[in-house]
Amino acid sequence: MSKKQQKSKQKMTQKQREERIKAAEERAKREAEAKERKERSKRIFTIVVCVILVLALGVPTMALAVLGS
């Protein structure tokens, strides 16, 4: 590290440190929320695909059973 960078770190006030910590916590919170949304949408997509497959396989089978007898 250069001397200038070391001085700037030493001169950081308590308020600046608190702001940096607060910003880091906010970033972590947003990342966690984004991850949760992504997982939820993935789960919903999986359920929708399963329902479509069940209907696509079940409806023709029932139709053949009803019309075949």
Chain centroid offset of residue 64 CA:
43
Q: What is the pTM of this model?
A: 0.58
Structural domain total, the chain = 1
Residue 7 covered by a domain: no
Q: What pLDDT is attached to residue 36?
A: 97
Q: What pLDDT is attached to residue 2?
A: 62
Tens digit of each residue's pLDDT, the chain (69 residues): 566 565 555 677 888 899 999 999 999 999 999 999 999 999 999 999 999 999 999 988 888 888 886
Using alpha carbons, select from 54, 33, 16, 61 the residue that is nearest to residue 8: 16
3-state secondary structure 7-55: HHHHCCCHHHHHHHHHHHHHHHHHHHHHHHHHHHHHHHHHHHHHHHHHH
Residue 19 covered by a domain: yes
In this structure, the chain runs to a length of: 69
Q: What's the domain range around 25?
A: 13-68
Residue 6 covered by a domain: no
